[in-house]
Amino acid sequence: MRISLHSQCFFFFICILVIFCITNCFTHHVYSQCLEDERTLLLWNQTQNCCSWDGVECDGAGHVISLQLDGEGISGWIHNLSSLSGLQYLEKLNLAGNDFGGGQIPGGILNLKHLTHLNLSYAHFGGQVPIEVSLMRRLISLDLSSGFYYNGLKIENPNLKMLLQNLTGLRELYLDGVNISAQGSEWCQAISSLPELRILRLSRCSLSGPLHPSLSKLHFLSVVQLDWNNIWSAVPNFFANFSHLTTLSLINCGLKGSFPETIFQIPTLENLDLSFNEFLTGTIPQFHHNASLKTIRLPYTNFSGPLPNSIGNLSMLSEIDLRGCRFIGPIPSTMVNLTGLIRIDLEWNFFTGSIPPFYMSKKLQFVVLSHNSLSGSIPQSLFSLHSLKWLILSNNQLSARVYEFPTLQFSSLVLLDLSSNRLEGPIPQSFFTLERLDTLDLSHNFFNGTIQLEKFQRLHNLIVLDLSYNNLSVDTSITNTNLSTFPQLLGLALASCNLHNFSDLINLHKLESLDLSNNRITGEIPNWIWEIGNGGLYSLNLSLNLFVGLQKPYHIPRSLDTLDLQSNLLQGELPPLPHNAFYIDYSNNNFEKSIPLNIGNSAPYLGYLSVANNSISEAIPTSFCNATRLEVLDLSANKFSGTIPPCLMQNIKQLGVLNLGGNNISGHIPDTFPVNCDLEILDISQNSLEGSLPASLANCKSLQVLNVGNNNIDDGFPCMLPSSLRVLVLRSNKFQGQVKCSRSWTNLQIIDIASNNFIGYLYTKSFPGMMLENDAHLKSDYIHYNTRNGDEYDRGTVKVIVKGSELEFVKILTIFTVIDFSCNNFQGEIPDAIGDLSSLHVLNLSHNTFTGTIPKSLGKLTHLESLDLSTNQLIGEIPQELTRLTFLEALNLSNNQLIGPIPNGPQFRTFSTDSFQGNTGLCGFPLNISCRHTGENDNVPPPNPYRKDEAINWDYVSVALGYAVGLGSILWLLFFCRSFRHKFNDQTEQVFEKIFNPKDRRKRHREKTKKTLNC
């Protein structure tokens, strides 16, 4: 708040008064009194000496040496401070935390040659830092930090080097928020000219990297803080040579490479903060007993590996924050030795094993271990820590029951989150003694039994209660007390809690959010539910029940921004949209008739609307084009007719999901996708659309899913689609031509162009850049869209043909990959390059005219679950390499020209004759055709010749006797018939001469080469 006249007068005239005192009052006596008229002007306490005023310090001679006026609420632009130049003995000037209106630093301040400490931080000065600062040669500490980056201070001309060139005695430099905009070598060399520097703070200064070696000259550095700059380089090893370093903070600097482990081991280091450097890798090394570390903050970096047991040696450690990294292994049990620990946050890692008891950490206030793979039971000792405020253990694999724990006389616990584990048994009665608790989340576990909701009234500060998705039966009825006295409850979630009657919830007068989903509640939605929270309800979820209608009359409150009624038996007209609605889901009901024509005008904040899977008819209202904040619009699986309003894409700039699939929409797809199109999911499948794909679709640079299947679209392959594409479905249209594009879709995981008129060859070079080759780096997740409010849409429906049957995937896994080119006119050989798509799950090339053999490279598709090459013109044998496909569940090679034995393998023994029929040259199991070279089924193992109980095979005996008789006759003639022996020798010599004569060999080689070149 500004203190206008009084504060400004105080600042102006205190300076004048002090000058006067120096020149007159203190010439003969240190404690001389201020002049009478000056006291009157200042409206100050006229009984006090000037040197005793707050913020004024004098030396023994009566000279003013320090003005500490920080945070005095001084405001407005001070036009003339030249009078300050008279304070020739002033050593310290502090004007921090005031508001000088964005003006430049006044020259009067800069003429104070004796200043050693100048602090003008966060005082709303602006413009270029004047060159006169460089003349203040005695400065030890300079603080020009600014909180107003765009209208604040800048160091441009003169630059940083010129500004600091004479300040060789500077020990502390604070320029946070000052726009320096310099390259790494420039600003580093400028700073290195300050050999006495101890503290360096340059956060948010638009500095670039890399960190130059010249910084290594600063041997006395104690504090280095360079947060929120664009360093974009590795942390140099010479930082480990700063033997006085106590604080190193490099938050969000774009650091990369491996962080030097030796920096962790600097004996003086107390605080290390590398937060939000996602490309920075490293591990945490072993620690010695003499380590000084108090805080370790590495959240959202790429640090990995196990935590060393020696972390228990950090006796001074008070905070460790490793959120969002890649650490593995157990949490070291030695951490129980950290008696000074206040906060531990290890969420979103890969820790395993049990939770240490932390019984010696009496100061512990925050324990956040969520989103790991921790197992075992929850240590009871955690509930006995008097200082503990937060205990968040959600999304782990914790099991067993939570046992009762001793009642604390005073517990500080305010947040307890045990959700998404495997905890079982009844809810402990001890929880009801945690009187300061304001948030309790036990959802998604296996807690069982029946519990009275009114028990939670004992928790007088409770704001949020979530018991959803357990094996609980929650009784909301009232017995001895009135639920209207329920504490400050704002959020109540009882999803899947076996509710039958919830009428007593009407008394929750402060409730803002209510979730009663998945309880199979029948009847009508009572009209009193809209009055819960005295009309202040903003979120209501009644989905997955058996409601058949809405009790009339009803009035949906304007305050409601989230209303989920999906998957009930509701019928009739759609309920009106609340005025403040952002998220509305009326899908999977029996609503009919049409959507109100003014629907797009009734909820100006609407961001998510789904009415999918109903029976709504007539045209899509053009008023949707006025809902300019809409991000998700799902009208799929209804009876909409007419055309797609062209303004739908053009007007709604933020539209991320448009699903109009499964309707009766006709006409062309509007070519109105804007330049800044944000669309990620577009599904207009199963309609009667015609024409071509609009060229403006290329503007949707973030498009992940495009499904136009089952229409009448007549076009070539859409090579203009963006590289962000993950799912492309063109099936059952009139697409034609060749599939040959220069663009790559390295994220493409599903491509279905079946049942079109594509022709030509599949080009070998196109596959490596066309599909997702390896999914090893992907986490198993669904393709989804997140709204700005955090609501998730993941209903990208895709139908896949597997073994002749159509399977519908309502949600698409990011690791599920499919190629379906069936029912086209492709020809030529199947490219070997398909075998490089190691993440492929389904491959369907059936009903084409492919020739050649089945590529052996298909044996590398170790994730393949379905392979259909039927109804082509493939020849040759089935590669033995296909037996490596241990996940293969469906195989169809029928109606080709394959020959030879069917390979013998574990998966091949599970396939029926349908997989191989129509190949007259195949033999072996499961066909009832014996292979010729054995006379028996190729897959039946040959008899063991060493078994004594086997019968003699006279066929082999006959053959052996024939060879013996022939060989014996030849040997008899050679020994006893001279004429035969001579002729035999002559013929043998001729054969050897033809084979081994060099001249003949060279002649034959020339003839062979000539024939090859003529091919």
Sign of CA dihedral 228, 232, 234, 240: negative
Look at residue 777 and tell me whether its pLDDT is greater than 60.
Answer: no
Residue 969 and residue 975: Cα distance in Å, rounded? 10
Number of Cβ within a 10 Å radius of residue 853 = 14
- Does any domain span residue 543? no
Q: Can you read off the two tokens belonging to residue 134?
A: 């460089």
What percent of the chain is modeled with pLDDT above 90? 67
Burial degree of 33 (CB within 10 A; 0-12, 13-18, 19+): middle
> What's the pTM value of the predicted model, to 2 decimals?
0.81
Write phi, then psi, for 799 (nearest 5 degrees): -105, 130
Of 885, 914, 944, which residue is a domain's last?
A: 944
Whether 731 and 820 have beta carbons less than 8 Å apart is answered as: yes
State the average pLDDT for the chain. Answer: 85
Helix runs in 741-896, H state only: 766-770
If DSSP codes are grouped into helix, strand and coil, which group holds residue 755? Answer: coil
Whether 435 and 461 have beta carbons less than 8 Å apart is answered as: yes
Say what the alpha-carbon torsion angle 151, 152, 156, 157 is, to the nearest 10 degrees.
90
Of 923, 944, 965, which residue is a domain's last?
A: 944
User: What would the pLDDT profile of 577-615 be if each residue is shown by its tens digit?
Assistant: 999 999 999 999 999 988 998 999 999 999 999 999 999
Cβ neighbours for 661, distance < 8 A, ≥ 6 positions apart: 636, 637, 683, 684, 685, 686, 687, 707, 797
Helix runs in 560-687, H state only: 599-602, 647-651
* CA angle centred on 380, ends 376 and 384, rounded to 5°: 150
If DSSP codes are grouped into helix, strand and coil, which group holds residue 439? Answer: strand
Residue 765 pLDDT level (bands cut at 50, 70, 90) = low
Look at residue 461 and tell me whether its pLDDT is greater than 50.
Answer: yes
Which run of H or E residues covers position 954?
helix 954-976
Look at residue 51 and tell me whether its pLDDT is greater than 80.
Answer: no
In three-state form (DSSP H/G/I as H, E/B as E, the rest C), the secondary structure along 588-620 is CCEEEECCCCCHHHHCCCCCEEECCCCEEEEEC
| Interstrand relation of 471-475 and 141-143 (parallel, antiparallel or unpaired) | unpaired
Whether 695 and 672 have beta carbons less than 8 Å apart is answered as: no
Looking at residue 459, what is its pLDDT? 92
Whether 669 and 646 have beta carbons less than 8 Å apart is answered as: no
Residue 767 pLDDT level (bands cut at 50, 70, 90) = low
- Does any domain span residue 334? yes
Q: Name the nearest CA neighbour of 633 among 668, 684, 596, 592.
A: 684
Residue 418 and residue 378: Cα distance in Å, rounded? 10
Q: Label residues 689-703 b or e (16+ Cβ within 10 Å = b).
A: beeebbebbbbbeeb
User: What would the pLDDT profile of 203-239 be if each residue is shown by its tens digit?
Assistant: 999 999 999 999 999 999 999 999 999 999 999 999 9
User: What would the pLDDT profile of 682-697 be if each residue is shown by its tens digit?
Assistant: 999 999 999 999 999 9
Residue 12 pLDDT level (bands cut at 50, 70, 90) = very low
Q: Name the nearest CA neighbour of 132 among 156, 158, 151.
A: 158
Q: Which residue type is seen at 617? A: S
Look at residue 79 and tell me whether its pLDDT is greater than 60.
Answer: no
- Does any domain span residue 839? no
- Does any domain span residue 910? yes
- CA atoms within a 13 Å half-sphere pointing along the CA-CB vector of 628: 4
Q: Can you read off the two tokens belonging to residue 497?
A: 């809690």
Cβ neighbours for 111, distance < 8 A, ≥ 6 positions apart: 82, 84, 85, 132
Residue keyed to tokens 């000792």: 381
916 versus 503: the higher-pLDDT residue is: 916
Average pLDDT over residues 422-427: 97
Sign of CA dihedral 997, 998, 999, 1001: positive
Q: Is the peptide bond before 879 cis (omega within 30 degrees of 0)?
A: no
Q: Name the nearest CA neighbour of 240 among 212, 214, 268, 279.
A: 268
Q: Can you read off the two tokens belonging to residue 558?
A: 């304007």
Number of domains in the chain: 2
Q: If phi over 0 gives left and psi between -120 and 50 gives alpha, with beta otherwise, what is residue 241?
A: alpha
Whether 14 and 56 have beta carbons less than 8 Å apart is answered as: yes
Looking at residue 501, what is its pLDDT? 82
- Does any domain span residue 305? yes
Residue keyed to tokens 């048994």: 425
Q: Label residues 452-477 b or e (16+ Cβ within 10 Å = b).
A: ebbebbebeebbbbbbbbbebebbbe
* CA angle centred on 221, ends 217 and 223, rounded to 5°: 145
If DSSP codes are grouped into helix, strand and coil, which group holds residue 125? Answer: coil
User: What would the pLDDT profile of 64-78 be if each residue is shown by its tens digit?
Assistant: 899 898 988 877 655
Sign of CA dihedral 476, 479, 480, 483: positive
Q: Name the nearest CA neighbour of 153 among 173, 182, 124.
A: 124
- Does any domain span residue 877? yes
User: What would the pLDDT profile of 151-190 be if each residue is shown by its tens digit?
Assistant: 789 999 999 999 999 999 999 999 999 999 999 999 999 9
Q: Can you read off the two tokens belonging to residue 114?
A: 């004796």
Looking at residue 809, what is its pLDDT? 72
Write phi, then psi, for 547 (nearest 5 degrees): -65, 140
- Does any domain span residue 940? yes
What percent of the chain is modeled with pLDDT above 70? 83
- Does any domain span residue 331? yes
Cβ neighbours for 990, distance < 8 A, ≥ 6 positions apart: none
Q: If phi over 0 gives left and psi between -120 and 50 gives alpha, with beta otherwise, what is residue 300?
A: left
Sign of CA dihedral 792, 797, 798, 801: positive
Looking at residue 838, what is its pLDDT? 84
Look at residue 145 and tell me whether its pLDDT is greater than 60.
Answer: yes
Q: Which residue type is seen at 83? A: S
If DSSP codes are grouped into helix, strand and coil, which group holds residue 628? Answer: coil
Whether 738 and 758 have beta carbons less than 8 Å apart is answered as: yes
Residue 66 and residue 783: Cα distance in Å, rounded? 63
User: What would the pLDDT profile of 703-746 be if each residue is shown by its tens digit?
Assistant: 999 999 999 999 999 999 999 999 999 999 999 999 988 888 88
CATH number of the structural domain spanning residue 931: 3.80.10.10
Burial degree of 933 (CB within 10 A; 0-12, 13-18, 19+): exposed
* CA angle centred on 66, ends 64 and 72, rounded to 5°: 115
Which run of H or E residues covers position 36?
helix 36-42
Residue keyed to tokens 């349908």: 914
Q: Name the nearest CA neighbour of 812 among 894, 752, 889, 744.
A: 752
Looking at residue 773, what is its pLDDT? 56
Residue 323 sits in which domain range?
Answer: 283-398
Of 398, 428, 459, which residue is a domain's last?
A: 398
Crossing angle of the two packed helices 978-996 and 954-976, in degrees rounded to 10 = 100
Whether 667 and 689 have beta carbons less than 8 Å apart is answered as: yes
* CA angle centred on 658, ends 656 and 662, rounded to 5°: 155
Residue 68 and residue 21: Cα distance in Å, rounded? 18
Please give the sequence-ordered ranges of beta strands (E in DSSP) within 749-845, or none if there are none. 750-752, 757-761, 785-786, 792-793, 798-802, 805-809, 818-820, 825-829, 842-844
Looking at residue 949, what is its pLDDT? 40
Q: Can you read off the two tokens belonging to residue 950?
A: 């086997």
